[in-house]
Amino acid sequence: HTDAETDGDAVATLRTPIVAVLGHVDHGKTTLLDRIRGSTVTEGEAGAITQHIGATAVPLETVSELAGSLVDPTDFDLPGLLFIDTPGHHSFSTLRSRGGALADIAVLVVDVNDGFQPQTIEAIDILQRTETPFVVAANKIDTVPGWNPQGDVPIQESYDAQSDRARETLDERLYELIGELADHDFSADMYWRVQNFANNVGVVPTSAETGEGVPDVLTVLMGLSQRYLKDAMAIDVEGPGAGTVLEVKDQKGFGTAIDVVLYDGTVRADDTVVVGSTGEPIVTDVRALLQPRPLAEIRTEKRFEQVDAVSAAAGLKIAAPDLDDAMAGAPVRVVRDRSREEVVQEVQEELAAIGVTTEEE
Ligand code: GDP
């Protein structure tokens, strides 16, 4: 059903990088995510954005369509980007995979007028600690006095349409932001001047409200992923699934279910899974795997459809007995042809790692 699902031999497959959006409250995280979700090819067409449980998949075709000349799709072999829908560094710092961050890459949203704020600093500390590559979206550029909004266009095009005065004001603010990044030990520059993203953080002027610069954010994320995450994205997609619990919820008709972001392998409807909990890890048999129906069908049908298998990277709902004590942020592992004890131990070790580092927002 999903793009990542294949029936072929289990050779390494490149999965979609998982993206988190972080930043201070009100700096525009939700608006940016909404803008990315809204800037879509008509549903059902090739390259349409798809809604997952807790995440949104933006295929490479959509990125290149939005980004126009910024992106040559033949430069990329990663399939696109999977954005976690819950913005904020609380979800980011508690969602871990193998002790690292669940997200492979991040967008740090900073209001250009407001600059660095307490939660910006918290976010940047977490990014530093987890060694997560990120791009800075210098947001709300449309609020610069005299700004002439341009819509969903690459930033250079928008820049060219501004008065000298508006451009100068924006540049001043961007350089202040670059200075603040330097104060926190990140050498940064406007993204189009960055030659080596391993040493420099790219700053992308954006307006989540008008869409200006949003194509550039997607482009830089694709470029960073391709350059620095390609090896990490090579997975045995047919192998036993591994993921992280986003939420534990009652699902009508199915009892307690967990929302999961899967970052490795496949989970099948007949699998046994081990799930981290407040007590001993839960060992249980999948009752149903659920994914959202395409929007077009939502009115007439139930919101979710049952599927036979889901492959990484993806968001899905797993319904199974005994999930009441499952814990948000905890690992989920498919047992498949391994011993239960081995998988339970893996989950316990991962939980121990989370236990010492879990943070409150
Ligand atoms: P969050 O708390 O970081 O998720 O911030 P929101 O996305 O909820 O945005 C906070 C407020 O700023 C909302 O009223 C948004 O409409 C507004 N906002 C977000 N991005 C922009 C932007 O680029 N330009 C303008 N003018 N307003 C924005």
CA–CA distance, 267 with 343 (Å, rounded to integer): 14
Distance 82 CA to ligand 1 centre (A): 21
pLDDT surpassing 80 at residue 135: yes
Q: How far apart are CA 316 and CA 50, in angstroms?
A: 12
Q: Kindly report, residue by residue over 99-109, the tens digit of the pLDDT.
A: 567 899 999 99
The burial class, CB within 10 Å (0-12 / 13-18 / 19+), for 346 is middle
In the chain the first and final C-alpha atoms are separated, in Å, by 36
C-alpha 42 to ligand 1 mean position (Å): 25
Q: Is the pLDDT of residue 42 over 60?
A: no
What's the average model confidence in pLDDT over 251-264?
94
Q: Which of 14-18, 39-43, 334-338 has the lowest mean pLDDT?
A: 39-43
Which residue owns the Cα nearest ligand 1 atom 2? 26
Whether 356 has a pLDDT exceeding 90, the answer reads no
Q: What is the pTM of this model?
A: 0.91
- Return the amino acid letter for 356: V
| Percent of the chain predicted with pLDDT > 90 | 68
Residue 138 pLDDT > 60, yes or no? yes
Asked if 70 and 219 count as a contact pair (C-beta separation under 8 A), the reply is yes
Given a cut of 50, is residue 141 above it in pLDDT?
Answer: yes
Question: What are the residues whose beta carbons fall under 8 Å from the beta carbon of 229, sequence distance 6 or more?
Answer: 17, 78, 104, 105, 133
Q: Which atom of ligand 1 lies at the shortest distance from residue 23's CA?
A: 3
Ligand 1 mutation pick, 29, 31, 155, 209, max ligand atoms within 8 A of CB: 31
Tell me the C-alpha distance between 29 and 21, whole Å: 6
Q: Enumerate residues lining ligand 1, CB below 6 A.
A: 23, 25-31, 87, 139-140, 142-143, 207-209
Question: How far apart are the CA of 250 and the centre of ligand 1, in A?
Answer: 31
Atom of ligand 1 lying closest to residue 33 CA: 7
Q: Name the burial class of residue 242, with classes exposed (0-12), middle (13-18) and buried (19+) by CB atoms within 10 angstroms of its CB.
A: buried
